[in-house]
Amino acid sequence: MKDAPTRALEDTRFLRALRRELTDVTPVWLMRQAGRYLPEYRATRARAGDFMRLCKTPEYACEVTLQPLARFPLDAAILFSDILTIPDAMGLGLTIDEGVGPRFKHPLHEPSELRRLGIPDPETELRYVTDAVRLIKRELGGRVPLIGFAGSPWTLATYMIEGGSDREFIRAKRWLYGAPEAMETLLELLVEATTQYLNAQIAAGVDAVMLFDTWGGVLTTDAYQRFSLAPMQRILNGLKAGTPTILFTKGGGQWLERIAATGCSGIGLDWSVDLAQAKRRVGELAALQGNLDPAILRAPIAVIEQEVDRIMDAFGDGSGHVFNLGHGITPDIDPEHVAAMVARVHNYRRPKDLRR
């Protein structure tokens, strides 16, 4: 009986879709599905006192991970955490404040500062994450798969060098073009740290992992291959064999063939990508995840349903589609609009009632 939940999870819509197997309906989950658009999340965050305590307390992280599943019939849960946990554990001192965003107290000003970085042990400095995974898995009871995640090395490096969120990446690109060897040293540290971190999440019980490459799209094609995709490839190569994986590069639609060639199970698509074209380009190499513009959730429900149908029509027949947003849901969205979107995905029927 010990393996029964695992076998049952393998047959869930989300994991079947990542294997490009037929599903009864298209699975759906949302990036940032546990977040500020939910009043129950805001109440839990108020009890926690601040975002970092919310992240670093397994009981709170479990609570907010499960909240959207209590409201909506989603096909996967995603661990509530933050992509910047690794740099924080490296000693950069992460703070996240409302209206300001993530900031580091001790960013990397010069390449010479790389010597102060170590690789955090995921079962000591990051134990709060693996403890949260174990607690969430217990509370889920095999209902749906749990997705673990991490930021891509390039994305983490930009925050570590800039000291926070930045749209110009002046300092990070100064390293990239002026000190590429130092940048590669930093990225290799992050590859090793992220590989260990994700393997620890897998050992703790997550059923799939996702790499969020939020800022890969700001690079040239050559720089993307060298400084973003190649490090992600090395992480994939180091993960426990058989683990389903999703790579998401925001603004990376021009590189879908390269991303698919990594051997990832699925490719996350932002809303700028035409899903039908992506399917033709990727073929049987990977499943596709996406890609409703989150802003559409502000529209009337009839418009949301129309846009869901448009994306589903674009994918067409066959297997290998996980419905999602093209980026994270924003705090201003009405939960009733999310409910309508999820219902439309699950109730969608193609012409002649073709089933997936």
Rg (CA), the chain: 20
The predicted-structure confidence for 281-332, as pLDDT tens digits, reads as follows 999 999 999 999 999 999 999 999 999 999 999 999 999 999 999 999 999 9
Residue 180 lies in a domain: yes
Per the domain annotation, does 86 fall within a domain?
Answer: yes
Contacts 24+ apart (CB under 8 A), 172-176: 175/111, 176/223, 176/227
Selecting among 75, 82, 207, 213, the annotated active-site residue is 82
Q: Which position among 19, 20, 36, 258 bears the catalytic label?
A: 36
With a pLDDT cut of 90, the percent of the chain lying above it is: 92
In a domain, 346, yes or no: no
CA–CA dist 275, 116 (Å, integer): 44
Q: How far is CA 218 from CA 48, 151, 166, 181, 233, in A?
A: 35, 15, 11, 20, 19
* CA separation for the pair 97, 76 (Å, rounded): 28
Q: Active-site residue 45, yes or no?
A: yes
CA distances from 288 to 58, 65, 129, 228, 309 (A): 31, 23, 27, 20, 16
The phi, psi pair for 97, rounded to 5°, reads: -120, 145
What CATH number is attached to the domain comprising 147?
A: 3.20.20.210
**Is 167 a catalytic site residue?**
no
* Overall domain count for the chain: 1
Q: What pTM, to 2 d.p., does this model score?
A: 0.95
Q: Specify the DSSP element, H or E, that contains 94.
A: strand 94-97
Residue numbers of the domain that contains 241: 34-71+76-250
- Domain membership flag for residue 299: no
Please check the confidence at residue 98 and state whether its pLDDT lies above 90.
Answer: no
Residue 209 lies in a domain: yes
Q: Which of 16, 37, 41, 45 is catalytic?
A: 45
Q: Is residue 225 part of a domain?
A: yes
**Start-to-end C-alpha separation, the chain:** 31
Is 47 catalytic? The answer is no
Q: Classify residue 312: in a domain, yes or no.
A: no
Residue 295 lies in a domain: no
What digits encode the pLDDT tens for the residues 115-169? 999 999 999 999 999 999 999 999 999 999 999 999 999 999 999 999 987 778 9
